[in-house]
């Protein structure tokens, strides 16, 4: 029997599953979108689903503070700050590097949501994270540590549930997908979708477009996390890297560096469907999907689901580079 996990309700679920008729006409294949940018938590995104389970565990452990880490424009940190506020907990964020001159996008929202922000400066972020946790404990707090992206087996389990949600929408709308395409970074979303695919009998391809990692590394990470997630849910199954599909051809200038491909994807989604994808994650995944369609790797006769994972607040941090895209 699959295990039922405790969740703390944060997200507006189910998120819509919608066709993309004008983008489909522009590109060829029949395209759909799963709107996890509309999970609703202070700007929404995929971390909200994971945080429902992580926050429930934090509260069960009687924690009074959530501590996590991320990049300066981390959507995960912003959603963690909002989740902490919802539950009346403190939130401490360890962000990479130095405080920027301009406070905008997700960083602005972190401030507004009341997070206590620490900068790792020139030191490794993990070291500052460990120190921060130790200092919290020493001062008598009860911190709950959330690793990068909330990508633990418990966090990933949220995307097994999301796959069940998708399955009932597919049944109601009578649609089947040849592939599910999405942005993959810390691996939790990917691992949950992989384990969830097994749970619902999804036979199409689960294709993560890597945002920052080499394909081999991300495949290994996702395989291990999917294995641990299946074990946690009492449906044990061992995944190996060869079971995991990653495309790392779209890393461009590196993590969070927006290039021409992301800019084109942002403009195309906006102009054809009135949809906003972000410069770091969903814009990169969309750019990858567009290129795979143009090169014929994704066939024109296919039906594809693009899983939108959020990230729109980061658009404001790229305003200078985006203002000529109109």
74 is catalytic: yes
Nearer to ligand PLP, 153 or 310 (CB): 310
Instruction: Give which of 116, 71, 72 is closest to 91, Cα–Cα.
Output: 116
* In 102-204, beta strands by DSSP E: 116-119, 143-146, 179-184
CB of 76 to ligand PLP, least distance (A): 5
CB of 222 to ligand PLP, least distance (A): 8
For every residue of 39-71, DSSP letters joined together read S-STT--THHHHHHHHHHHHHHTT-SEEEEEE-
CB of 212 to ligand PLP, least distance (A): 10
* Residues in a beta bridge with 246: 208
Query: Which residues of the chain form contacts with ligand PLP (CB under 6 A)?
Result: 45-47, 75-76, 149, 151, 183-190, 278, 281-282, 309-311
Rounded to 5°, angle at Cα 213 from 157 and 233: 15
* Active-site position among 24, 74, 185, 210: 74
- Report how far residue 298's alpha carbon sits from residue 31's, in angstroms, rounded to the nearest whole number: 11
Nearer to ligand PLP, 65 or 189 (CB): 189
CB of 70 to ligand PLP, least distance (A): 8
- Report how far residue 56's alpha carbon sits from residue 195's, in angstroms, rounded to the nearest whole number: 21
Other Cβ atoms closer than 10 A to 101 = 5
Class of residue 264 by CB neighbours under 10 A (exposed 0-12, middle 13-18, buried 19+) = middle
- Report how far residue 228's alpha carbon sits from residue 10's, in angstroms, rounded to the nearest whole number: 24
CB of 177 to ligand PLP, least distance (A): 19
Catalytic positions, written as ranges: 74
């Amino acid at each position: 029997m699959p295990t039922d996990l405790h969740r703390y309700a944060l997200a507006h679920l189910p998120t819509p599953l919608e066709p993309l008729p004008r983008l489909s006409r522009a590109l060829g294949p029949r395209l759909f979108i799963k709107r996890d940018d509309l999970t609703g938590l202070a700007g929404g995104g995929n971390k909200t689903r994971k945080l429902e389970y992580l926050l429930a565990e934090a509260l069960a452990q009687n924690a009074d503070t959530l501590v996590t880490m991320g990049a300066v424009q981390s959507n995960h940190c912003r959603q963690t700050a909002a989740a902490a506020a919802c539950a009346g907990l403190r939130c401490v964020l360890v962000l990479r590097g130095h405080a920027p001159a301009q406070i905008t996008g997700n960083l602005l929202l972190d401030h507004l949501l009341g997070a206590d922000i620490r900068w790792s400066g020139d030191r490794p972020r993990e070291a500052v994270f460990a120190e921060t946790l130790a200092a919290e404990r020493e001062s008598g707090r009860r911190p709950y540590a959330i690793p990068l992206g909330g990508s633990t087996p418990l966090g990933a389990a949220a995307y097994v549930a999301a796959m069940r949600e998708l399955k009932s929408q597919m049944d109601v709308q009578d649609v089947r997908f040849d592939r599910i395409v999405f942005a993959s970074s810390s691996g939790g979303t990917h691992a949950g979708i992989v384990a969830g695919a097994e749970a619902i009998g999804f036979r199409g391809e689960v294709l993560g477009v890597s945002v920052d990692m080499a394909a081999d590394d991300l495949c290994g990470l996702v395989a291990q996390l999917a294995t641990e997630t299946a074990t946690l849910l009492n449906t044990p199954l061992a995944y190996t890297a060869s079971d995991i599909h990653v495309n790392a051809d779209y890393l461009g200038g590196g993590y969070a560096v927006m290039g021409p491909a992301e800019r084109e994807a942002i403009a195309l989604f906006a102009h054809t469907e009135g949809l906003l994808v972000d410069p770091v994650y969903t814009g990169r995944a969309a750019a990858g999907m567009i290129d795979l369609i143009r090169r014929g790797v994704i066939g024109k006769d296919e039906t594809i689901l693009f899983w939108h994972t959020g990230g729109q607040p980061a658009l404001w941090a790229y305003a200078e580079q985006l203002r000529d895209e109109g």
